[in-house]
Amino acid sequence: MKTPLSRSLFAQAQALIPGGVNSPVRSFGAVGGQPLFLHRGHGARVWDVDGNEFIDFVGSWGPLILGHAHTDVVAAVRAAAGKGTSFGAPTPREVELARLIHEAVPSMELVRLVNSGTEAAMSAIRAARAYTRRSKVIKFAGCYHGHADGLLVEAGSGAITHGVPSSAGVPPSYAQETLVAEYNDLATVERLFQAYQQEIAAVIVEPVAGNMGVVPPAAGFLAGLRDLAHAYGALLIFDEVITGFRVAYGGAQALYGVTPDITCLGKVIGGGLPVGAYGGCREVMEVVSPLGPMYQAGTLSGNPLAVGAGVATLRELRKEGRYELLERLASSLAHGLVEAAQEHDVPLTVHRVGSMLTPFFSAGPVVTYADARQADTGAYATFFHAMLERGVYLPPSQFEAWFLSLAHTEADIAQTVQAARFALAAVRAASVAG
């Protein structure tokens, strides 16, 4: 694989952009090497500036559930752009997108459109604080809810602890309002509620963790969170930025039968364009301006290009058989990876929920953030580069999800599994040599 143009562009980018990238994970820092510059995508495939072709399992980190340049999405964006790219005023399609979201996720009785998942999570927490008139929030180690200051925290030395900043530039005073519990461990949550009974506004959680690799909720975990939150007068927020319309048409709350008070969406509802949303029951959402005292605004919220792409995407997803096809393809890929690992005696634990999955380079089980961090990142880096050489583009991090799309075919899966056999042989050889 030759990459002279990518290397040249990366050198130029490093002189102009911090680290040469506009989002850290794109830098290949977790796997080594230099990033590829992509310039075209169609269906399940992408091409870099040097003409190398890849089967894509990044999918713009989840939004492209229909694949790249889907005909209906492209047509919707072109039609919207031809009428004007932004108005800063209400437009018909934002009403249609809100209606489609509400029909799929009934718990979102009122929906506010924003520009990103970060905005959605930040605004959902502000709404919860306004509604409960409390300040503290419980999040979980290993769960990511965007880069808002109060959420960029990590656990301290014990379960009952204030968070401490995990990013420079975050004042400790912000982090002190965030409490950190262990994902899939209700006891750590209950201890926090007992310690701060009248202070906790909300619990925010990825119902399926997607930022420490894919880690599904343990039986009873989500329902237990809801029960604990309500028992102490707090709200439950599901961050479904990744899982919304990805693991099921109604998201993880439909898949697991647990209803949150507020839901955050992003990714799929924009069809590849920047968009997010938060919403919940009418009583809670009526605190949002102009109905209530909680202020949140955005010039580009409900942008006509983004909502047009989102409407086209959701219309396609609600057609019969779409999620059954995704389930079949993703299941085939997961089983193929497991079998290939067994052939080469490589410890591999593959987690999958719907069309998102992660192969952890460990014997497992992977239930908590601590379990996930036991994965062999060096082995993943070897695997990643071996797959890239064989035409498969994967997330450049052990702790990110792979995403399948309706554009993937059984032939793509077979080709990927065959590439994985060679890549896992390379992992095994490196392990023996090391």
SS3 for 167? coil
Q: Is-contact 173 149, C-beta < 8 A?
A: no
Stretch (H or E) spanning 236:
strand 235-239
- Residue 38 has phi, psi (to 5 degrees) of -90, 145
Establish whether 261 is a catalytic residue: no
Establish whether 2 is a catalytic residue: no
26 by Cβ neighbours in 10 Å (0-12 / 13-18 / 19+) ranks as middle
The Cα–Cα gap between 170 and 163 comes to 11
Crossing angle of helices 410-433 and 322-343, rounded to 10°: 30
From the candidates 239, 371, 376, 412, give the one annotated as an active-site residue: 239
From the candidates 56, 131, 144, 393, give the one annotated as an active-site residue: 144
DSSP classification of residue 65 = T
DSSP classification of residue 148 = -
From the candidates 56, 232, 267, 380, give the one annotated as an active-site residue: 267
SS3 for 364? coil
Establish whether 131 is a catalytic residue: no
The Cα–Cα gap between 242 and 68 comes to 18
Q: Is-contact 419 336, C-beta < 8 A?
A: no
The distance between the two most distant Cα atoms of the chain, rounded to a whole number of Å, is: 65
Q: Is-contact 114 223, C-beta < 8 A?
A: no
Which residues belong to the active site? 144, 239, 267
